[in-house]
Chains A and B, each alone.
Chain A
Amino acid sequence: MTHHTPSVALFLVSGLLAGVSLAAETSEGTTAASHWWSDTNGPFSYRIQGLLYGIKRDLQPSLLNQNNILNISQYQGTGELRLDLKLNLPEIELAAKPRLNLTWERWDQGIRADETRTKDEAYLNEWGIGYRFHKDLVGSYGRENLQWGPSFLLSPSNPFNPRNGQNNPWLEMPGLDYGKLTWVTSSQWSTQLIANTDEGRLDLFRDFRPTYAGKIDYTGTGRFASLILSHRESGPSRLGYFGGLTLSDAALLHLEGHVDDAGRNQTLFGGSYTFTNGATLAAEYYRNSESCLRKEIAYCFAPFDDTDPDLSFYRRDYGLVQYFHTGFVDPALDLTLRGIINLNDGSSRSIAILNYDFNNYTEFFTLADWTSGSPNTELGALYRYSIMIGTSISY
Chain B
Amino acid sequence: MSKPWLSWSLLGLALLSAGMAAGQEAPPRMSEKEILAQADEARGNLDGVEWRLDILAETGSHTQEMSLAVKARGFDVVTTTLAPPRSKGDRLIMVKDNMWFHKPGLSKPVPISKRQKLLGTASYGDIATTNYANDYAADLSGEEVVDDIPCLVYDLVSLHNKTTYDRIKYWIDKRRLVGIKAEYFTVSGEKFKSARMEYENLIPRQGTMKPFISKILITGELVRSERTTLVFSTPTLQPIPDSAFNLDLLTQ
Residue A135 at the B interface, CB < 8 A?
A: yes
In the complex, which residues 265-285 of chain A have their Cβ closer than 8 Å to any Cβ of chain B? Answer: 272, 274-276, 278, 280
Are B59 and A34 in touch, CB under 8 angstroms? no
- A394 and B241 form a contact (CB under 8 A): no
Shortest C-beta distance, B247 to chain A (Å), equals 7
Q: How large is the interface on A (under 10, 10 to 19, 20 to 34, 35 or more residues)?
A: 35 or more
Stretch from B6-14, B30-38, B112-120, B169-177 forming part of the interface with A: B112-120
- Is B105 touching A360 in the complex (CB atoms < 8 A)? no
Residue from the list A37, A147, A215, A221 in contact with B251, Cβ < 8 A: A147
Contact A148/B243 with A38-B80, A222-B98 known, Cβ cut-off 8 Å: no
Closest-CB distance, A177 to chain B (whole angstroms): 13
23 A-B pairs whose Cβ atoms sit less than 8 Å apart in the complex: A37-B69, A40-B50, A40-B69, A47-B88, A136-B241, A136-B243, A150-B111, A165-B106, A166-B107, A182-B246, A188-B96, A219-B96, A222-B162, A224-B98, A246-B97, A249-B113, A249-B163, A252-B111, A254-B111, A280-B113, A360-B65, A360-B83, A361-B85
Over the window 310-333 of chain A, the binary record of Cβ atoms lying under 8 Å from chain B Cβ atoms (1 yes, 0 no) is: 000000000000000011001110
Q: Which of A1-9, A53-61, A137-145, A344-352 contacts B (4 or more CB under 8 A)?
A: A137-145
**Contacting residue for B82 out of A38, A182, A251, CB 8 A:** A38
Cβ-based interface call for A115 (8 A):
no
**B115's contact among A97, A145, A166, A278, by CB below 8 Å, is which?**
A278
Task: Tally the A-B contacts, defined by beta carbons under 8 Å.
Answer: 186
Complex Cα gap A359–B62 (Å): 11
Contact residues of B with A, CB < 8 Å? 50, 52, 57, 59, 62, 64-65, 67, 69, 71, 76, 80, 82-86, 88-89, 95-98, 103-117, 120, 123, 125, 161-165, 186, 192, 236, 241-249, 251-252
Contacts A155-B108, A190-B246; is A331 near B96 (CB within 8 Å)?
no
**Contacts A33-B82, A150-B110 known; 4 new A-B pairs at CB < 8 A:** A39-B69, A217-B247, A221-B96, A332-B62
B233 to chain A, nearest CB (A): 8
* CB-based contact B249/A278 at 8 Å: no
Contact B64 A332 (CB under 8 A): yes
* Residue of B88, B106, B242 touching A186 (CB-CB under 8 A): B242
| B86–A363 touching, CB < 8 Å | yes
Given A150-B111, A186-B242, answer yes or no on A244-B105 (Cβ-Cβ < 8 Å).
no
C-alpha spacing A247/B69, complex, angstroms? 28
Cα separation A9 to B6 with both chains bound (whole Å)? 95
Distance of B168 from chain A, by nearest CB (Å): 13
Q: Give A158's nearest chain B residue, CB to CB.
A: B108
The 5 closest A-B pairs by CB, nearest first: A147-B108, A278-B117, A360-B84, A248-B161, A222-B97
Minimum distance in angstroms from A67 CB to a CB of chain B: 34
CA distance A186 to B163 in the complex (A): 25
Q: Which of A47, A172, A187 contacts B95 (CB 8 A)?
A: A187
Q: Which residue of chain A has its CB nearest to the CB of B158?
A: A249
Contact B108–A327 (Cβ < 8 Å): no
Within the complex, the shortest CB–CB distance from B51 to chain A, in Å, comes to 9
